[in-house]
Amino acid sequence: ARLAKRRLKRGVFHSVVDLQAAINRFLAEHNDHPKPFTWTADPDKIIAPAKRGHLALDSFH
pLDDT tens, residue by residue, 28-56: 988 998 888 888 888 898 899 999 888 88
Q: Residue 61 pLDDT > 70, yes or no?
A: no
d(CA 1, CA 34): 16
16-25 own/partner pairs: CB under 8 Å, 24+ apart? none
